[in-house]
Amino acid sequence: MDKKKILYKLLCGVVIVALAVLLLTGLLGGNDKHYHKDALTGEDVTRIKVDAPTNLAYDGTINAEAWNEIFPHITASMNANATNDEIVDYLSQDPYLINIYEGFGFAKEYGSARGHAYTLDDVHQTARPHPLANCLTCKTPNFAKLVQDQGVGVYSMDFEEVYEQIKASGEVISCYTCHGNSAGNEGELRVTHNYVNEALGGNVATIDAATLSCGQCHIEYYFTPTDKETMMPYDSVEAMDPEAILAFYDSMVLPDGTVGFADWTQESTGARLLKAQHPEMETYLQGPHAADLNCADCHMEVKMNEDGTVYHSHELVSPLQSEAILSTCVRCHGDTNMVEKVHRIQDQVTARETEIGNKLSDLKDALAEANQNGSLDEETLNAVRKLYREAQWFFDFCYVENAEGAHNSSLANRCLDLAAEKITEATALLTAAAPVEG
Ligand code: HEC
Ligand code: HEC
Ligand code: HEC
Ligand code: HEC
């Protein structure tokens, strides 16, 4: 055999091995986004300025149909949210909820969220009572626009009246919700839900715009006692933790002089209770990714269309269902199996939720009994009611967060620890005060 050829092959082999080693150790690609060649990120997106369409909808918003001519890929991807159409019935999955939510709408019906395409159908069909138009806050851009045009009086208008108008001429969550009429301005994001600016004021700028665009709705909120206006119970990221939010609700003075906000008073226990709502942004912002990533990084794929332009898919997916998004985790998590990592956290959190939810339900029964049989003095009863209110709040803050621990497992577990502590304290009070049997 030709010696030169062998030498040549050997040399090639050495070069290939050396290159492979360099690549594997990350020396060539560096630790930046190019390390994983095929993972496009938000930084690769093509941002273009175009004139906005001039055919406005009935209320002056530009709807998705009008944008479709300019951004067909984005519009099509947003419409693909209709494929996320499954609802898990939480009440049959976790029957203890029916007991702890007794007296409130969520004990009648509580299904999981599904895609943005269904917001108007779902709010209309729910068995939960919704007398006022404020229930439309997070369902349609046309309600946000109505508030901008007519002010806070809109929140307490009749639900059906506003719903019918929007159903006939408006849209489900759409371009206007997150971009106003400015999508053509390089995809500029706008806060269109007034209460976000009202609650956060100057602190709006401390939150990444792509995170806050989701945080217009994926948050804990309440209806103000006077105007029934949708409102966030904090004014800064620092005040978004569940302890601070509880303190805010506890110290609120209501129009009739009562101290302490409640979503409902539970008749059987006499407790004034809070219902937490999907605090995704609050939970996320206190977790390990807050400084480096935004919601879009994990829930919107970055894709390239035929002409080479790179865009954010507006189909909001679980990162676990997207190879493209999972391949961006590598940058920080290396070759960790992310699906396993997430499921391990979720299994742990869900198991604790079931355990503590059932204990909360037992506490509710014991308190209801004490409340009805008159075995306790009013002072002890009130102390137990307060602990039950707090336990329910911390339990709920974890239970209703849709990532089931994946956004922030230490916060999820802190909430469950606090709930468990309050339940133990309340049970001890009830037991100490209970008449000795026999
Ligand atoms: C739920 C919120 C939301 C809705 C609804 C929405 N967008 Fe976006 N949009 C975003 C976010 C978040 C980004 C990423 C912004 C960033 O990273 O700066 C984005 C980015 C964009 C961009 C910049 C290019 C890109 O792909 O990143 C354009 C253009 C755009 N959107 C147009 C639209 C149009 C047109 C519609 C309606 C068909 C729409 N958006 C609906 C949130 C939304
Ligand atoms: C205008 C309010 C609003 C905004 C803004 C918004 N969402 Fe939603 N989102 C909802 C509502 C309401 C639902 C539940 C819809 C239903 O079940 O009918 C939902 C559902 C979802 C779901 C499906 C949940 C499931 O369990 O299947 C995901 C994922 C999601 N949103 C992510 C996002 C992300 C990411 C952003 C920001 C880019 C965002 N949303 C912005 C209101 C909003
Ligand atoms: C580091 C990645 C990451 C970021 C950033 C992130 N999430 Fe998630 N999110 C997840 C994971 C992982 C899950 C669990 C997915 C699953 O169970 O399939 C999840 C679940 C969800 C869900 C439940 C729906 C679903 O598909 O399971 C919603 C809603 C959601 N996130 C909203 C948000 C919002 C709003 C933000 C920004 C405030 C955000 N996420 C930021 C990783 C992320
Ligand atoms: C910018 C770096 C960075 C990127 C990109 C990143 N992560 Fe992380 N992630 C971290 C750090 C730091 C931690 C905290 C240490 C740990 O648990 O590994 C973390 C923790 C987590 C946790 C545990 C959270 C908790 O509270 O227990 C999950 C789940 C997670 N990441 C999911 C993802 C997923 C899914 C992706 C890709 C879609 C992703 N991460 C991308 C830096 C990152």
pLDDT single digits (tens) 2-21:
555 655 665 555 556 555 55
Average pLDDT over every residue of 338-365: 98
Alpha-carbon span 349 to 414, nearest angstrom: 11
CA of 111 to the centre of ligand 3 (A): 18
- The percent of residues above 70 in pLDDT, for the chain, comes to 90
State the ligand closest to the CA atom of 297. Answer: 3
| Closest approach atom of ligand 1 to CA 64 | 38
Q: Is residue 176 lining ligand 1, measured as CB closer than 6 Å?
A: no
Q: Is residue 178 lining ligand 1, measured as CB closer than 6 Å?
A: yes
Q: For residue 111, what pLDDT is reported?
A: 87
CA of 53 to the centre of ligand 2 (A): 26
CA of 188 to the centre of ligand 1 (A): 8
Under the banding of pLDDT at 50, 70 and 90, the label for residue 438 is: very low
Q: Is residue 119 lining ligand 2, measured as CB closer than 6 Å?
A: yes
CA of 287 to the centre of ligand 4 (A): 9
Q: Is residue 319 lining ligand 4, measured as CB closer than 6 Å?
A: yes
Comparing 26-35, 81-90, 228-237, 298-307, which segment has the lowest mean pLDDT? Answer: 26-35
How many angstroms separate the most distant Cα atoms in the chain? 103
Residue identifier of the C-alpha nearest atom 19 of ligand 4: 288
CA of 126 to the centre of ligand 3 (A): 24
If you average pLDDT over each of 38-47, 128-137, 290-299, which comes out highest? 290-299
pLDDT digits (tens, 9 = 90+) for 141-190: 999 999 999 999 999 999 999 999 999 999 999 999 999 999 999 999 99
Q: Are 227 and 289 in contact (CB under 8 A)?
A: no
CA of 318 to the centre of ligand 3 (A): 6
How is residue 106 written in tokens? 């969520």
Which residues neighbour 127 within 8 Å (Cβ) at sequence distance 6 or greater? 105, 108, 109
Rounded to the nearest 5°, which phi and psi values hold at 89?
-85, 105
Residue 118's nearest CA partner among 136, 102, 139 is 139
Using alpha carbons only, give the angle 273, 223, 357 rounded to the nearest 5 degrees.
30
Q: Is the pLDDT of residue 343 over 80?
A: yes
60 sits in the region (left: phi over 0; alpha: psi -120 to 50; else beta) called left
Q: Are 189 and 207 in contact (CB under 8 A)?
A: no
Alpha-carbon span 272 to 389, nearest angstrom: 7
CA of 97 to the centre of ligand 2 (A): 23
Pocket test for ligand 4, best of 285, 289, 297, 299 (most atoms within 8 A of CB): 289
| Closest approach atom of ligand 1 to CA 78 | 38
Residue identifier of the C-alpha nearest atom 14 of ligand 3: 403
pLDDT digits (tens, 9 = 90+) for 35-66: 444 688 889 999 999 999 999 999 999 999 99
Mean pLDDT, the chain, as a whole number? 91
Pocket test for ligand 3, best of 114, 299, 316, 402 (most atoms within 8 A of CB): 299
Residue identifier of the C-alpha nearest atom 36 of ligand 4: 329
Pocket test for ligand 1, best of 63, 142, 145, 178 (most atoms within 8 A of CB): 178
Average pLDDT over every residue of 325-353: 97
Question: What is the CB-side half-sphere exposure of residue 129 using CA atoms within 13 A?
Answer: 4
Under the banding of pLDDT at 50, 70 and 90, the label for residue 435 is: low
Q: Is residue 74 lining ligand 1, measured as CB closer than 6 Å?
A: yes
